[in-house]
Structure 1
C-alpha cells in the first residue's frame, strides 16, 4: 500500500457526493412504503416483505459488484445499476395494489442499491490514504444519509401541497436518473486521479475467511446490527408517529439534520480520536436514543430530540466502524472487507424490516421497540467489550515488561 496518495480535488469529490445524494433518494423513498401500502389496504407486514425482498438481490449485487468494478470500472457500474433504482421508484408509484409486483420492484431496488452502496466506499478507499479514510467515508455516508432522509420528506412535502405520496417516488426516480448521468461522466475523471493500489474487488471464500478471522469481523457485525436498528425504526416510522400522534417528518428532519451537522462539526474531531472509544461512545448514544423512543417520546419536542440523538449516534458510528473495517482488514483484503461490510449492512437494513413488520402486526409497536433496544444493547456491548479486552491486554503487557 502506498505511503502517500495525492488528495482528490474538492470539486471532484463534491460532485461524487452530490451524485451519491441523488441516488440515495430512491432508497429513502422506501420509508414511505408503509404509508403507501396502508393506503392501498395493506399493513406493516406487507411493507416489510417488499423491503426485505431487496435483501435477496443485494446478495447477488455484492457478489457481482466486484466483477463489474474490475471489468467496467466502479463509477460506470454504479451508473448502469443506478437505472434499476429509478425503475424501482417508478414501479412503487405505478404498481396497483400491494401484491407480488411490488416484490419485483423490491428486488430491483436491492440490485441497484447494493451495487452503489458497495462500490461507493471502494472508490473512496482507492482515492485517499488510510489516515484519510474515516473523514472521507464520513463525507460520503453523510451525503447518502442526507439523500435517504430527504426521500420521506419529499412525501411529506407532497402531502402538504395536496399531491399523493406517489409524487415522492416519481421525484426519486428523476433524481436517480440525474445521478446515473453524473456517475457515467465521473468515471472518466476518476480514472485520471492517482489512486491507492488495492487488490481487485472480487470476493472469494479464501478472502472471506481471512477477513472474518481478523479484527475486521467486529465492525462487520456491528454494521449489521446497526442496519437492523436503522431499518427497523425508519421503515415503520410513519406507523410509530401515527401511534404517538406526532408528525413523522420530524424524525427524518431531526435525524438528517443531526447526521449532516455531526459530519460537518463533530466528524473532524471524532476521526482523530481512538476509534474504539469513539464507537463505544457513539453506540452508547444510539442506545440512549432507542430508550427515548421507547419510553421518553410524548410530544413533538421529545420526538425530535430522540431523532437527533439517533442521527448523531448511529450516523457517526457508521463512519467510524467503516474506517475500522477497512483498516483492520488483513493485507490485500481491503475491497473484500468493504464488500462484507456492505453485505452485513444489507442483511440488517433490508432483512430486519421483514421481522419488524411481522412483530408490529402480531405483537405491536412496543414489542418492536423492545427488540430494537436489545439489538442496540448488543451493538454497544461489542465495542465496550473490545475496549475492556484491550485494557486487560495492555495491563498484562505492562506487568510482564
Structure 2
C-alpha cells in the first residue's frame, strides 16, 4: 500500500514540460476525492440489480436514470452561477454530497413507483455539477502547457472510481454476503469523504491567474445561448462524439447483468477487467497518448470502442469475449474521453471555452443517463441482440464524426495555406 501511495504521489509531480500550480500533496487530495466521488456514479450500474430486487425490470431502471438525465441538466445549468459565488472546488464538494444523497435514497426505495426518479434526479444533479465544477477547479489551477496531462490524470481516477465501484460491490455481495442496501450506504459514505477532500483541495491549491494580454475574458452570457456560436466551430464534433460514446459506455455498463444472462459470464468480471484496463492504460500510456496527434489517437481509440461493442455479440459462444470487450472499452473509451474533452476546449475560442465545456458535459450525460431509458425499452421488447446493435451503431456514428472532424481540419488548413 505504501508503494502504491508513493507511486501516486510521483504520478502527480509536474512534468518537465512546464510547471503546474498544483502541488503533489494537493493533487493527491484532489485525485482521491475524485476517485471516491466517482464511486457514487459507479453505483448507478447497480441500480438495475436494485430495481430487479424490488420487483421491477429494465424499463424501470431506464425511468430512474431518465430522472438522472433531467437532474444533470439542472446541475450543469446551475454550476457556473454557483461556482462564481462559492468557487469551483467547493461546488464540486457540494456536488459529491448530492451524489451520495441520491445513492442512499435509492437504497431506501422498497417498491417500484414513480418516485424512483427522485434518487436518480439527485445523483444526476450531483454528478452533472461535479463533472463540470471539478474540471473547472482543475483548469483554474493549471497552466495551458500542463492542462492536457492533468485532464488525463483526472479522468484516470474518475474512470477508476466508476468501474471499481460496481466491481468491488459485486465482490462484497457475493463473497462477503453484504446486502445491496448496505453497499449503497457505504458508497454514500465515500461521497461524503470525497466532499471533505475536495473542499480541502480548494483551500490548499492556489489559482493560476491569466497574464496574457491577448486572452479573451469569459463571456457572461448563459451557456445555453452560446449553442449557435459553438455549433459553427469544430467544437461541435467532440461534443456530439462524447454523447454517442456515453451511449456505448452506459449501455454496456448499465445492462451488463442482463446482457450476460443465460451465459457463463459474470457482470462483475466485466466491471473488474474494465477497471484494471483503465488503470493500466492510463498509467502506462497517458504520456504517449498526450504526445500523439489527437486526431489520429481519437480515431484509433474510437475504433477500439466499436470493436468492444462487437465483442459482446460473441459472449454466448465463449466467455472470454466478455473480457475482450471490457479491455477494448476500457482502452478505447477510457483514453478517448480526456482527449475529446480537450478537443472541445481547444476548438473553441477562449471567451466560449466554459460554455463549450458545459455543453460537452451536458452532451455526455445525454448519452450516459438518457440512453438507458431507450436501451431498457429496446432490451425488454427487442432483446439482447437489438440492444447491442443499437450500442454498436452509436459507436460507429462517433467514429464517423471523428473522421469528418479531421477532414474539416485538413480542408481548413489547405484553404489557409
Q: TM-score, normalised by structure 1?
A: 0.93
1:30 partnered with 2:7: no
Matched, 1:376 2:395: yes
Conserved? CA contact 2:166–2:271, under 8 Å: yes
Query: Of 246, 260, 268, which aligns to 1:249?
Result: 268
Per the alignment, residue 374 of structure 2 pairs with 355
| Aligned pairs for 1:68-87 within 5 A | 68-87=82-101
The DSSP-based 3-state class of the residue aligned with 1:333 is helix
Contact 2:97 2:192 in 1 (8 A): yes
What is the CA-CA distance between 1:302 and the residue it aligns to? 2.1
Q: 2:137 aligns with which of 117, 123, 133?
A: 123
Describe how 1:2-401 pairs up with structure 2 within 5 A: 6-159=20-173, 160-190=175-205, 192-196=206-210, 199=218, 203-295=222-314, 298-391=317-410
How many residues are matched? 395
How far residue 102 of structure 1 moved from its aligned partner, in angstroms, is 2.0
What is the CA-CA distance between 1:133 and the residue it aligns to?
2.3
- Counterpart-to-counterpart distance in 2, 1:87 and 1:68: 19
SS at match of 2:291: coil
Q: Which residue of the partner structure matches residue 14 of structure 2?
A: none
Stretches of structure 2 lacking an aligned partner (at least 5 in a row): 1-17, 212-216
SS of equivalent residue, structure 1 residue 246: coil
Counterparts in 2 of 1:67 and 1:131: CA distance versus 1, 3 Å: same
Name structure 1 gaps, 5 residues minimum: none
Normalising by structure 2, we get a TM-score of 0.90
Runs of 4+ in 1 over 6 A off after TM superposition: none
1:44–1:361 contact (8 Å) kept in structure 2 = yes
1:297·1:306 contact (CA, 8 Å) conserved in 2? no
Does the aligned pair in 1 maintain the 2:39–2:165 contact within 8 Å?
yes
Cα deviation for residue 297 of structure 1 reads 5.7
Contact 2:19 2:146 in 1 (8 A): no
Cα–Cα, structure 1 residues 239 and 205, in superposed 2: closer, same or farther, change >3 Å? closer
